[in-house]
Amino acid sequence: MPLPAKQPNVRVVTLNIDGRDLSAREDETIIEVCRENQIPIPSLCYLEGLSVWGACRLCLVELAGQGRLLAACSTRVAEGMQIQTNTERLQRYRRTIVELLFAERNHVCSVCVSNGHCELQHMAQKCGVDHVRVPYRQASYPVDSSHEMFRLDHDRCILCTRCVRVCDEIEGAHTWDVMGRGSDCRVITDMAQPWGESDTCTSCGKCVQVCPTGALVKQGTSVGEMVKDQHFLPILARRRHPQ
């Protein structure tokens, strides 16, 4: 006689995203279900394989019956959810957020090593940002070239903290962190020492590969040359944290 079926711990739910009926495990987030079903959701801080951060606010979606917008990366699916991912209102908010990002630091694509391979640039193109209405902050930030292989340019950082998380969660070095408050925030290595003097950095380069912009790049790359490869991340993440 077969053993009685063991009841699974996780249920499966059905929900509706942009008019499509979809099924999902209830421990999945909205963004995971969307990515699985080729529904485009813009995001900059979210990256498969890293913990959820919920800071770029580009993946906000509308849920029927709820006035407040929900971040697709940090919201779990539930039975019967009716979700809209690309309304006129969301498009308008996303455009403004991208504009705020461009104006915050000194993003000038034409002189950037990541030109053409930059997630912020792609995002601007996808969201239809053809100009920035808010004034650039014109704050002056240093460039850290002290590491023999890599370079950190704060002017191109969007504070997504992918570098902080990959270094902590995948490499296990926790070289990166964030210091300061508000618009004074910046990423630092160790106790805000030059990167080249860091005791903890293993020079693995994962932070460079996950960085969405030209903030973290390989030394010696010139305009448009910096292509990043993030395929390693989900594979490593699965090995580090088996499901």
Partner 1 sequence: MNLDDLADLAEKYREAEAGVDREVRVCLAASCQSSGAVPVFDALVAELGDAKPSCKVKGVGCMGLCSAGPLVAVADREADLQGSVLYRDVTADDAREIIASVDGPPVERLRCPTDQPFFARQQKIVLENAGIIDPDSFKGYVAVGGYAALIRALSEMTPADVLREVTDSGLRGRGGGGYPTGLKWSTVAKMPATQKYVICNADEGDPGAFMDRAILESDPHRVIEGMAIAAYAIGANKAYVYVRAEYPLAVERLQTAIRKAKRSGLLGNKIGDTQFNLEVEIRLGAGAFVCGEETALMASIEGLRGQPRPRPPYPAESGLWGHPTLINNVETFANIAPIVREGGEWFASIGTERSKGTKVFALAGTITNTGLIEVPMGTSLRDIIEVIGGGIPGGKAFKAVQTGGPSGGCIPAQHLDIAVDYDSLKTLGTMMGSGGMIVMDETSSMVDVARYFMEFCMTESCGKCIPCRTGTQQMHSILDRLAKSQATRAELALLEELCEVVQATSLCGLGQTAPNPVLSTMRYFRDEYEAKLGDT
CA dist., res. 67 & res. 219, Å (int): 47
Give how far Cα 61 sits from Cα of 25, 43, 55, 73, 144, Å: 19, 11, 14, 10, 37
Q: Interhelix angle for 119-127 vs 88-104, to 10°?
A: 140
Q: How many residues bind partner 1 (CB under 8 A)?
A: 35
CA 157 to chain centre: 12
For residue 60, give the amino acid letter: L
> Which is nearer to partner 1, 53 or 150 (by Cβ)?
53
Q: Which of residues 76-115 bind partner 1 (CB under 8 A)?
A: 76, 92-93, 96-97, 100-101, 103-104
> Which is nearer to partner 1, 135 or 242 (by Cβ)?
135
Longest alpha-carbon distance in the chain:
74
Is 65 a binding residue for partner 1 by CB under 8 A? The answer is: no
Is 182 a binding residue for partner 1 by CB under 8 A? The answer is: yes
Q: Which of residues 116-135 bind partner 1 (CB under 8 A)?
A: 133-135
Q: Work out how close the CB of 68 gets to partner 1 at its nearest, in angstroms, rounded to a whole number.
A: 8
The residues that touch partner 1, with contacts defined as CB under 8 A, are 52, 54-57, 60, 68-69, 71, 73-76, 92-93, 96-97, 100-101, 103-104, 133-135, 137, 158-159, 177-178, 180-185
